[in-house]
Structure formats: C-alpha cells, structure tokens
Structure 1
Amino acid sequence: MKRCHMAYAASAVAALVGSGIGLGASPAAALHQTLVVHQGESIQQAVNSARPGDTVLVLPGVYKESVTIGTPRVTLRGAGASTVIEPATKTTAGAAPGKNTRATKSCAEGGNGICVIGTKTTNVEGVTVADLKVTGFSRAGVFGMATDTMTVRNVQAVKNAVWGIAQERSVHGHIMDNYAQGNGDAGVFLANTITEEAGALDTRRTVIDHNRLEGNRIGVTVRRLRNLSVAENYIAGNCAGVFVVGDENKPKAGDLEVAFNDVTENNKSCPKTDRLPAIQGSGIVLTGAEKTVVDGNRVTNNSGDSPLSGGIVLFKSFVGVTNDQNRVSGNALAGNGPADLVDTETKGIGNTFDHNACRVSKPAGLC
C-alpha cells in the first residue's frame, strides 16, 4: 500500500502526556489507530497492519480484491455505498501480499468478498464490517467462519452468486441494518457447518435485525442452529422470506424466535435444488424445527404453487424430521396462498397456533 494514515485517539494521547509517562513506560491501554485506504491502494495490506482494536477506513472508490480478517477486534469500515468491493481481475489477483496471504488467497479462490476467519480451535473475536458495498462475488459477499461477536452493519450485499452475508460455526453474531438484494441463494445465511453433518449449534444469541432483504432466492436462512433471533426485518420480493431448517442430527434445530418481521410478496419463482423443491410464495417456513416462536410478524400476499407456499408454513423436513413444540402466535396475516397458516405435519407434537389475525388456514381451524 502506498501510504497508511494513522489517527491516534486524542484523549488517549492527552492522558498519556498528562500522566508524565516516559517513552520507556508501558501505558495502561495501547493506542488504537485508524489506517486509511485510498482508491488504488490495498485494503488487505492495511488489514495486515492492523492490531486488535484498530480501524481500517476505506475511502470511496472501487476496490477489486478479496479481504481476509483474522485479527480480533478489527473494524473494517467504508464510507457507505460509495466504497465498493468487487472481485479482483486476473491482473490484480494476489496483489496484496502480507502476513495473511495464504488466507487471502483462500478467500478469493473460494469466491468470497470479505472473509472473517478464526481457526478450528479458536474463534476470532469482535470483528466489525460496516458501511460499504460488496458485489459480484461467485460465493458470498461477506463470510464469517469461527467468529465470536462478529458485527455486520450497514453493508450492501448485492448480486453475489450464493449468499449476501453468511456465517458458519459462529456465536454472538449481530447482523443489522444491511441491504441484501439479488443474491443467488439467501440474503442472510447462517448455519452450524456447511460441509458436514452435525447437530444444531447454540449461537449464544446471534441477532439478525433491521435488515432489508429483497429479490434473493430466500431472505433469511437459518440452518441447524439454536438460540438466535430474526427480528424486525423487511423481507420482500424473494422466492421465500424466512427458512428455519433442521435435520435428523442432535441436538435438533430450533429454540429460537422469528418476531416482528414484515414479510410480504415473496413471490419470485425459483427452481428446485438438491435440498429443496421449487419454491414460490413462501413467507415463513419451519421444517424439522422445535421450540421456535413465530410471533408478531406481518405476513402478507405470499402466494404460489410450491408445496412450501403460504404465509406461515410448518413442513416436515425432507429427511423426515417433524416440527415439534413450535408456537405461532400474534401474527397478522392476509392474502397468502394457498392459506395464511399452513400445517402439513401429521406426526408433529405440540405445535400451537393462537391469537393470529388471519382468514384462511390449511387445515381449517388454525386461525
């Protein structure tokens, strides 16, 4: 990188000077720095130079690279939608050597834009990605694996081939105030592990809130996870709004909440995949989940001919796992087809529907 401008915290400097600490002494708290990246410079080189607590500030411009963060408590922040990260061209690929070169190459070769990566034994803690746009990647715009307290805020994740924002094997996450549009699979995707079978992971209260998710295959997918919240999001124009997905492994997926979301007109038609049939007109779908609370959502005008179509749908998982002890309550539903509430379970135990404002259910009597 041509240059890095370091802005030290003025209050910390003043405190240091006022205390009379000499050059040979160790201050109680290390100074944090801001490394500023201009268009034409390497974001990765600045990230490589960052220490825990530092901020990498990326000024407006188009940056053609993938970025990997493995240092705890680093903030990568842009200047809003005018800071754009796109895939590298062949001539710029590998142009960001440094201490994370191997991981950076893996992130780029995996087709991801920004990667926050811990290790098999240690989660990377406290990383924030904020205020930028990431687009055009062949996998995910922002991808976190083995993270703790990772925050993704005010990011535009647009037209990536698989996911807009994704986390795997992560805890205490916060995905908030983002815009995910036109991604090939989910706008926001969270899973225990992607490449192998395993029981549901306790996310220790990950929160997905106040995001706008439009025109993706699925707005939010929560796969094989427990103890999290999907709340107060606007989810529209996808093939499906929210999917909570479980399987036959133990512990079972669930023990989470989907609450106070606006889920409307998710009527795109998407072809079947290896995991799902064709989907269209699905608002909120639970499949193979337990003890999930679906509460206070506004679910309107989701309609289609898929087996998963409808406003709020309980559907036995495709590996035969039932939905059990889920509660659907206090939701406002209208104009969904084939019905506002759909329960296809024949063997599920303890599922309840109460105090929902709706007109049509399948079977009858759930409204």
Structure 2
Amino acid sequence: MNRHLITTATTIVLVLSTVLNCSHIASCAEEIIVREGESIQDAINIASPGSIIRIMPGKFYEHLEINKTLTIIGSGNETVILSSGSTTCVRIVRGVTGVKLSNLCIDGAGSYKATGLWVQQSNRNQLLNITITNFYKGLRIYDSSQNILRNVRLLSNTYNFEVYGLYLSHFIHDIDSSNTVNGKKIYYLVNIHNGRLTGDAGYVAIVNSTNVNIANMTLSDNFSGILLAYTNSTVVRNVNCTRNVQGIRLVNSYNITVTRSLLTFNEWSGISLEPATTCKIYSNKFKFNEHGLYLSFAPYILQAKTGFNKVFLNEFSNNSV
C-alpha cells in the first residue's frame, strides 16, 4: 500500500514537470532550485506562497511576473536575468506583499524602452544586493509603501531610479545610502527636521520633512533628480539637475525655495509642482526641457497650505513648452 502511494505520487510529479517543461528543477515542499537552462518563471508558477526559490549561476532570458509572496535568491552577479524585449524584465505585481529578492543581476542589454524591476502597487518587499543595468528605466517603485532597499546598484540606465505616488504612504520606504546610482549614493530621507545635504549624490528624496537645505549637487539620469514629497520650509540652492524626466519634483509640499539652480535637458520638466503652494522659484535657468516649469493641481490630495507661488527672475530658453 505504501509502495503504491509513493509510485503514484512520483508519477504525478513527473507529469507536472513535463507539462511545465521544468523536469530538471529540483524541488521540495518549501524550496525550489533553478539551474541555467531552466525557467525561473516556471518555478514561480509552481511555488506555493512563502516558498524559497534559489537560482544557480547562469544566464536566464526571461520576463518574470512575481504574483505571490516568495523569497528569490540568486548567486550574486553570477546570476544574470537578461531582457530581450521592450517590456518589464522583473515585475512584482499589484497587491502582492512581502516578496524578498536578493543576490541578482538584472541586465537589459540596452533593451529599448524596457524597465528592469517594477514594484507596482506592492508593499513591504525587500530588495537586497541587486544590480540593475542597461535599461531605459532601471528601478520603478510605483504607488507602493514600506519597501526596504539595501545594496541596490543602478548602473547605466537611461533613467535609473523612480519613486512615484500621490499619497504620503507611497513615499514611505526604508532606502539607505548603501543603494547607489552610477556609483553615487542615494539619499532617501524620511522624517528629517533641520538637516543639510550637500556634495556628491546619485539621487535625493526628502519625505515628510521640514527645514532641510540641499545645495551644491549635480543630479542626473533618474525619474526625478530631486524629489520633495510632503515636505515644507526647505531650500534647494545651486543644484544642477540634468537628463532626468523631471529635474525637481514637488509633491504636496509648501514653502519650498528653489534658487540659483540649472535645470537642463529633462525629458518632461525642469521643475514640477504637483501640487505645491507658497513656493519661491527664482534666479534659476531652465534650458532644453520639454516644459520649463510644470504646474499640476490635484485637489483630492492637497493638504499643503493655500497660497500663491512666486516665480521671478528666472531664465527660460529653448524649452519646448
């Protein structure tokens, strides 16, 4: 009787493996091992929530949809997920929480308009020791919250890093300076009061903070060079934001001063106010942007104080709009 049960179970496993074309994937109840030549997506599909997927060294030409809570562990830069198209290479889909990705290299090989890793409306994930390179957009965190990033290296993407959202919760993440853009540190600061940030940086975000001074920086090749979200009484002075989508993005912030700065060659805007009130924008140069200064009004999220923005003594030249 026992022998019959074992034989039957073995037959079922073999049939499933054949159908999924992953007959060489070694698996047990909670752990799946994927070797070069096998499919990571097949492993994701057969895994139960909470399982561990270990990826051995090798090159994997895939577009991954992570649609359940999993721990996916590679072998460092020896595990390379390669994209060959114009879509997203790795996506944590909306509604999924608690995914842990670590020890991977995600390489777009110059894929046109492709994204390396997209966290889409997904919370409390961990991205650890990951290299993302050669994409149009490297890492996108979109309408998500409470994600943890450590040792994420964004290299040679057209736009390396994006944190996008409208509500405060969309900007609350644990992202420390071990993360880098083209070798320069990411400064993602939350709940900072009376601070100063100067010098070299790969990306700057100030969230839910007051009285921060940002000065003497060059920020390029991101969705936003500088992001100020739900922040007030902050000064940005003498910065150069170039080749971003938005040079400086203000979200639901007020009493912000931007002065003596250079905003050039940004795909969408030199500065975007989405929305922002009682701000002073003066003595800046806006050149070769799609929009020099972009104003957006979203009353359903507006919590900032009402009042007029003051824009004066700026130089606008060769912007499309």
Shift of 1:317: 3.1
For the residues of structure 1 that align with 2:271 and 2:83, how far apart are their CA atoms? 39
- The Cα shift of 1:316 comes to 6.0
Aligned residue for 1:202, secondary structure, equals helix
Counterpart CA distance in 2 for 1:215 and 1:177 is 11
Match status 1:3 vs 2:24: yes
Encode CA deviations 1:240-288: one digit per residue, 9 max, x unaligned: 784216xxxxxxx4249x9xxxxxxx97953xx8x64xx6xxxxx4535
Deviant stretches of 4+, over 6 Å = none
Residue 61 of structure 2 corresponds to 64
**Pairing 1:126–2:98 present:** yes
Summarize the alignment of residues 307-326 of structure 1 with structure 2, pairs less than 5 Å apart: 307=263, 317=272, 321-322=276-277
Within-5 A mapping of 1:169-208: 169-185=143-159, 187-192=160-165, 199-203=166-170, 205-208=172-175
1:204–1:243 Cα change, 3 Å: closer
What secondary structure is seen at the aligned counterpart in 1 of 2:43?
A: helix
Greater fraction of residues in strand:
2
Q: How many residues align?
A: 227
The 2-side partners of 1:4 and 1:292 are apart by 57
Given the two structures, how large is their TM-score scaled by the length of structure 2? 0.58
Paired with 2:171 and 2:274, the residues of 1 have a C-alpha distance of 26
Report the Cα offset of residue 70 of structure 1: 0.4
Map 1:100-179 → 2, pairs under 5 A? 111-118=87-94, 123-136=95-108, 137=111, 138-161=113-136, 163-179=137-153
1:149-188: CA deviation from partner (whole Å, max 9, x where unpaired): 1111111001111x21111121211122110011111x22
Task: Name the SS for the 1:45 alignment partner.
Answer: helix
Residue 11 of structure 2: aligned partner: none
Summarize deviations over 1:334-364 as a string: whole Å, max 9, x none: xxx99xxxxx9x9559xxxxxxxxxxxx9xx
Instruction: State the distance in 2 between where 1:150 and 1:116 align.
Output: 9
Kindly tell me: are residues 50 and 292 of structure 1, through their superposed partners in 2, closer, same or farther at Cα, counting changes over 3 Å? Answer: farther
Among residues 73, 77, 96, which one is paired with 1:77 in the alignment?
A: 73
Aligned partners of 1:114 and 1:140: how far apart in 2?
A: 8
Residue 282 of structure 1: aligned partner: none
Query: Residue 48 of structure 1 aligns to a residue in which SS?
Result: helix
Name the aligned partner's letter for residue 173 of structure 1: N
Q: Describe the SS at the equivalent of 1:56.
A: strand
Structure 1 residue matching 2:169: 3-state secondary structure: strand
How far has the Cα of 1:219 moved from its partner?
4.1
Residue 77 of structure 1 aligns with an amino acid whose one-letter code is I
Aligned residue in 2 for 1:243: 226
Match of 1:50 among 47, 51, 54: 47
Query: What is the CA distance between 1:321 and its match in structure 2?
Result: 3.4
- After TM superposition, list the pairs within 5 Å mapping 1:222-301 onto structure 2: 238-239=220-221, 242-244=225-227, 253-255=229-231, 270=243, 276=246, 285=248, 287-290=250-253
Question: Given residue 263 of structure 2, which amino acid in structure 1 is its aligned partner?
Answer: P
Contact 1:316 1:322 in 2 (8 A): no
Distance in 1 separating the partners of 2:230 and 2:31: 40
Q: Give me the CA root mean square deviation.
A: 4.2
For structure 2, the residue ranges without an aligned partner over 5 or more in a row are 1-21, 185-200, 210-216, 286-292, 294-306, 315-321
Secondary structure of 1:165's partner? strand
Aligned pair 1:87/2:55, yes or no? no
Per-residue CA deviation, residues 136-157 of structure 1 (Å, 9 max, x unaligned), is: 1432111111212111111100
